[in-house]
Amino acid sequence: MSLITRKITNGRTTDELMALLSAVACSILAALFIGALYFGREIFVPIALAILLSFVLGPPVGLLQKARVPRGLAVVGVVFLAFSVIFGLGTLIANQLSQLAGDLPVYQSTMQEKIKSVRGATASSGTLERAADMLQELSRELDRPKDDKSGRGAISRLGAPNAAGTTQPIPVEVRQPDPGALENLRSLIAPLLNPLATTGIIIIFVIFILIQREDLRNRLIRLAGSHDLQRTTAALDDAATRLSRLFLAQLMINATFGVIIAVGLTFIGVPSAILWGILAAVLRFVPYIGSAISAAFPLALAAAVDPGWSMLAWTLALFLGVGPIVSQVIEPLAYGQSTGLSPVAIVVSATFWTALWGPIGLVLATPLTVCLVVLGRHVERLEFLDVIFGDRPALSPPEMFYQRMLAGDPTEAAGKAEEFLKEKSLSSYFDEVALKGLLLAQADAKRGALDQARMTKIRDAVTEFASDLSTQNDSIPEVTSPTMDAEAAAAVETVPDTAISSNLPVVQKADLPLDWQGEHPVLCLAGRSPLDEAAAVLFAQLANAHGLGARVESADALSTTNIAKLETAGVAIVCLSYLDASSPAHMCYSVRRLRRKFPKTTIMLGCWAENIDKEALEELREVAKADTAAGSLREAMMICRTSAGVEEHEGLPNHVTAAVRVA
């Protein structure tokens, strides 16, 4: 045994071996869990239904308790009312089905006439009719009892010889004795025993869960780990909130959809309109295909009832008109991000739970998967569930910006930025998303994972991205309709509350001093790499959005040969852009060269390195001998506005104010 162990550990490290064993153990546990769900579905399905119903009935019970109604009485009353409504709907459906079954023979002649008209309209009707007649003849031959019509060799155990000396079979009829009253009662009750037993179990579980809600929550906290009460309580509250919101919204929307369908079919004249309305409401709980299934039955009935085609056309128009409005307009407004599931997760969960539990699993697929996603969001070991099935982006907003720049897809990045700008300002997006994405690229370049060609590609993509946003200003919009894009919403959440959020009006050229009224009073210079130039492009675009013209020069402009060719006319402030704070010597020499070229111009050091504090930024400014320094694009923009005399010093941090005064 030790020899085997030694051979294994020689090929893999201990950590790799432990990770492999952990993966195997998790796979075995997952297989056992899925097997238990499948073979124990007779037990788990009622429990799952009871738990989900308790989320729906929990809010009404809470309202009654606030009205001083005892909990036991409130629970029993709400459960009794809910199941009374369910049984009432079931009775109504049974009556409608019975009435429809009695009227079906009346519609038979209409359907036959329509089939004949359709056959006559098709060019291949003769072939179809011959094929149908042949199939019917074969069916009659297969159903015909065995007998020899030729009369030769036919022998029967009971029979008499005919004139030809053969025997003819005597028909024998076997009759069962009449069942007694007990047998009739048993045959009537037997099909109802299983549904009634399941319903009884669900009612008992619902009452138990609602009465013992706090006790069950405490037990779940103990199982999950009482050492982390905050995380466990947050997970349970999140699950309860999401499921209650989801179920109540679905119940109201689907019930409204069913009422609209029932009323519309009544006006159109389709029989059993109430039945089809209830069916439409119930089947809408089935994702994607529920609405189509609910429309098939009234469409078929409309074709059977009406001798013409107008009723069928109106019924089709009703479903095509109401369905998309509910699914594409009302549901996104009502649900928002409440489910937390991606579209792929809904399809996968529907397939998985249907395979396990059949049709009832299809209805329960979405809420059950919501529970798994919430667990993955709060339990570290199950985080993969949130990544796979959740609707939150798998990458952070800066990572997605970086990925799009690497892929050369600035247009899509600009579209996501415009969604972000529905709620936040342009400077917030540049600082919290775009600039942090460039910092990720800088980290890759520092460790040698990003070559010069890719950095140049990123710079070109950022330039095109900034050009696509050239019409955007830096004002904070009035949020009338929040963005529904999941990626943009995640980016909005990254903006800290401590960020500067005051609106800065666009500067008019006539209000600027003479030295700022040139075409490009702001000169943005890259420090060392194309990534620094990409950051300079973002700052230049922000300056243009504020009404201060800006132009960008690459890092080559700082070389001894090229700096002499640098255009100085109309430049009021120079911003030297760096994504990395690890080269103060290079900053110092760059500022020195710029000072010789622009002796009377304010030189600002823009160091966009992540988590650089005020003291470190001021130290860099002193080492580089710059007039002022900024750690964010918005801070640099405020320095420009202050230098131009259009902004008060109070809007700036203390260290920036002092630097501007020195300048």
Provide the pLDDT for residue 60: 84
Position with higher pLDDT, 135 vs 540: 540
Reported as type and span, the H/E element at residue 656 is helix 654-662
Give yes or no for a contact between 515 and 476, defined as CB atoms under 8 angstroms apart.
no
Provide the pLDDT for residue 244: 74
CA 109, 114, 115 angle in degrees (round to 5)?
Answer: 95
Provide the pLDDT for residue 7: 45
Q: CB burial class (10 A; 0-12, 13-18, 19+) of residue 491?
A: buried
Position with higher pLDDT, 488 vs 622: 622
Provide the pLDDT for residue 15: 66
Phi, psi angles (nearest 5°) of residue 285:
-70, -20
* Cα–Cα distance for residue pair 310/307, rounded to 1 Å: 9
Provide the pLDDT for residue 113: 67
- pLDDT > 90: what percent of the chain? 6
Q: Is the pLDDT of residue 606 over 80?
A: yes
Provide the pLDDT for residue 1: 44
Provide the pLDDT for residue 460: 92
User: Which parts of 424-565 fold into alpha helices (H)?
Assistant: 426-429, 435-446, 452-468, 486-494, 530-545
Q: Is the pLDDT of residue 534 over 60?
A: yes
**pLDDT digit string, tens, across residues 348-363:** 888 888 888 887 887 7
- The single-letter code of the amino acid at 149 is K
* Cα–Cα distance for residue pair 289/347, rounded to 1 Å: 11
Lowest mean pLDDT among 132-141, 200-209, 211-220: 132-141
Provide the pLDDT for residue 156: 43
Whole-number average pLDDT of the chain? 77
Provide the pLDDT for residue 106: 67
The arithmetic mean of pLDDT across residues 402-406, rounded, is 89
DSSP-assigned letters across all residues of 51-83: HHHHHHHHHHHHHHHHTT--HHHHHHHHHHHHH
Enter the DSSP assignment of 341.
B
Position with higher pLDDT, 519 vs 246: 519
The arithmetic mean of pLDDT across residues 329-344, rounded, is 66
Indicate the pLDDT class of residue 643, thresholds 50, 70 and 90: confident
CA 66, 67, 69 angle in degrees (round to 5)?
Answer: 95
CA-to-CA dists, residue 378 to 234, 371, 375, 381, 661, angstroms: 8, 11, 5, 9, 49
Provide the pLDDT for residue 50: 86
Return the top range by mean pLDDT from 91-95, 125-129, 496-500, 518-522.
518-522
* Cα–Cα distance for residue pair 305/113, rounded to 1 Å: 11
Indicate the pLDDT class of residue 95, thresholds 50, 70 and 90: confident
Give yes or no for a contact between 52 and 367, defined as CB atoms under 8 angstroms apart.
yes
**pLDDT digit string, tens, across residues 104-155:** 676 666 666 666 666 555 544 455 456 556 545 655 655 555 554 444 444 4
Task: Centre a 10 Å sphere on the Cβ of residue 259 and count the other Cβ atoms it contains.
Answer: 15
Sole residue written with tokens 């420009």: 640
Enter the DSSP assignment of 451.
-
DSSP-assigned letters across all residues of 113-164: HHHHHHHHHSTTHHHHHHHHHHHHHHHHHHHSPP--TT-SS---SSEEE-TT
What does the block give as tokens for 76?
């029993």
* Cα–Cα distance for residue pair 534/441, rounded to 1 Å: 11
CA-to-CA dists, residue 171 to 28, 159, 175, 407, 460, angstroms: 63, 9, 13, 84, 94
- pLDDT > 70: what percent of the chain? 73
Q: Helix axis angle, 359-378 relative to 343-357, nearest 10°?
A: 130
Provide the pLDDT for residue 463: 92
The arithmetic mean of pLDDT across residues 316-344, rounded, is 73
